[in-house]
Amino acid sequence: MANARELLPIEGKSTLPATKAVGIDGIDSFDYPAVKVGVVGNVTVSYDPALGAPGLALAKQMLDVVAAPYKDMQTFFGIPGGPVTVIIVPKGGANDGTGGAYHYGCDFTSGNVLYCDATFATKTVNPLQLEIALYVAELSECFMGAQGRGWGCGFSNGEGLSRFLAEYETAIGTLDAFATGPAWAGAAYPDWITKTAPTDQDAVSTGCAIAYLYWLRSIGFTIPQIVQAGGTTLQANYQVLTDRTTAYPDLRAAVSGLSVTTDNPFGAPLQQPGIAVLGNTLHVAWKGIPGDDGIYWTTGNGTAWTPQQRVANVGTSTGPALAALNSTLFMAWKGIDRDQRIFWSTSNGTSWTPQQPVANVGTNIGPKLAVFNGHLFMAWKGIDGDPGIYWSSLTGSTWAPQQRIANVGTAFGPALAVFDNRLYAVWRGEFGDETLWWSSFNGSAWAPQKQIPGVASSEGPTLAVYNGALYAVWKGNFSDQRLWWSKFNGTSWAAQQVIGNVASSNGPGIATFGNVILSVWKGELDDDRLWWSKFNGTIWAAQQIIPGVGSGANVEV
């Protein structure tokens, strides 16, 4: 039908009905017969009775899950939204989701009926996850029009955003059959950044848009920041976020050398493995390469590394933090994908205890750990659009209630280290603020934040204490793959210096080990290897590879 906004698999064909039908309940006129199953908040869930008992069962399952994605859309778009009706229908005929989904106008008045193909017959992905993805793809387009900031429902920028949000709300791989990123790569990466295609059915322009969105996430922007920046072109969106006018060349540089076989060639954003010293042994833990949510760890003696091991029965989408207290190694991490809980475990240096959740806290980045005054401290950034920095401490097996550091904000979360009898935190500013900030904690209160002058980073730094000074190391700004360092004497920060002949797409981790600083980092762009080097206070030694391991992650203390 005219003006339908339709989500289809990459090889799919439109299967819109020719005429409308009167709802079975006799109230609404829809494209299909519809039986109402229930209402949750602003969402009514119905199904076509032709789907029988499986259709009713799927509709009941949807009724239990539609509220959480709706709430996320409210957060992402920054508006309250309006009522929608979700109707599960036999759109494609196979009841496996390949018929996709559609709606009409781009708002909550003319487009608030969302027709989603039934998915209970699919054998390749989780049926409920796929139904949620179809729902979110259409729901998000209602929010686009109501928000009115330039996302084009029915245009390539909006179609890219709707697919991105649908993928974000569901398990990895759910929408693989709908992926358009490879089509953009196959067309030699044309510029749909400075211009917007007036269609939602062109895989190449949509693929460019979704790759752009995943790239922004990989360099540290949260979804609310991206979505609320708006823009009738993706260049306009980028300029609001960064004050730069180079979105297309910057994106092309980011995908250079990558194999674009999915919508997201960049891996999970802000992955932050940990590094810590226990006794005479250096421990490093990290998230697996993109697509592998396992946590791995190895140990080093300053010269060689042991074979990697996988921590049993745990997973993360951002990477773990490490710290050693007495004879115990502590690890904390964010859960997988949309699980924003923080988990923790301990090790005697050989094996790890079962994970436990930290009660009543959440983050979309991952925590950091440090030992101060004989206690383990943890700090983290708030969930999604909350840039606040929170902290807690551990006594025995109990974490104290979280507290917020007043009047500060970050896009990444802080690094922690103890120096001169105080706990120091250093972090990159909020979105659009690429400068580094610091504060210190005396056991009772945090000092007002101060800026480290003359430096910039696309993400957060990492810290270590060495030879009576506090050292910070960080990756350069956006396309600057170099690693930089500075030191703090208790009063001021020295001029930054570059670590020569090394590069990273994320950032390093550092720890004092013996009489040197030892640093570990992920390679540049699609180089998922881990590299390491030593610093003697004057120069950095030539980099070396940690053999047999791979990470999609930067390494943070």
Torsion over CA of 179, 183, 186 and 192, rounded to 10 degrees? -120
Cα 270 versus chain centre, distance: 7
- Which has the higher per-residue pLDDT, 233 or 556? 233
Which pLDDT does position 184 carry in this prediction? 98
Confidence check: pLDDT of 205 > 60: yes
Give the Cα separation of 255 and 191 in Å (integer).
Answer: 13
How far, in Å, CA of 187 to CA of 173, rounded? 23
pLDDT at 475: 86
Q: Is the pLDDT of residue 418 over 80?
A: yes
Q: What is the DSSP secondary structure assignment for residue 51, as one 8-state letter?
A: G
Answer whether 355's CB lies under 8 Å from 315's CB. Answer: no
Q: Mean pLDDT lowest for which of 83-87, 138-142, 167-171, 309-313?
A: 167-171
Confidence (pLDDT) at 2: 54
Give residue limits of the domains in the chain.
5-255, 274-545
pLDDT at 15: 77
CATH number assigned to the domain covering 5-255: 1.10.390
Name the least confident of 11-20, 291-300, 456-465.
11-20
Query: Which amino acid is present at 75?
Result: T
Average pLDDT, the chain: 90
CA distances from 263 to 178, 202, 438 (A): 9, 15, 36
pLDDT tens for 323-377 read 999 999 999 999 886 688 999 999 999 899 999 999 999 987 889 999 999 999 9
Domain 274-545: give its CATH architecture.
6 Propeller (2.120)
Residue count (the chain): 557
* Dihedral sign, Cα of residue 172, residue 174, residue 175, residue 179: positive
d(CA 259, CA 173): 17
pLDDT on residue 553: 45
- The model's pLDDT over 278-324, given as tens digits with 9 standing for 90+, comes to 999 999 998 887 667 889 999 999 999 999 999 999 998 787 999 99
pLDDT at 556: 42
Average pLDDT over residues 483-494: 95
Identify any residues that bridge with 415 across adjacent strands, giving them in sequence order: 426
Cβ neighbours of 448 (radius 10 Å):
8
* Helix ranges (DSSP H) in 152-192: 156-168, 181-186
Residues 413 and 425: beta-carbon distance below 8 Å = no
C-beta separation of 117 from 89 below 8 A = yes
pLDDT at 100 over 90: yes
Q: Which residues of 235-245 are buried (b: 16+ CB within 10 A; e: fewer)?
A: bbbbbbbbeee
Confidence (pLDDT) at 434: 80
The percentage of the chain sitting over the pLDDT mark of 70, rounded to a whole number, equals 93
- Phi and psi at 6, nearest 5°, equal -125, 135
Q: 432 pLDDT exceeds 80?
A: no
**By mean pLDDT, which of 21-30, 166-175, 280-289, 511-520 is the weakest?**
21-30
Residue 512 pLDDT level (bands cut at 50, 70, 90): very high
Identify the helix (H) or strand (E) that includes residue 103. Answer: strand 101-103
- Region 418-436: mean pLDDT is 90
- Give the CA radius of gyration of the chain: 25
Question: pTM score, two decimals?
Answer: 0.66
- Crossing angle of helices 156-168 and 127-147, rounded to 10°: 140
Q: Once rounded to an integer, what is the mean pLDDT over residues 236-243? A: 92
Q: What distance in Å separates the CA atoms of residue 427 and residue 412, rounded to the nearest whole number? A: 7
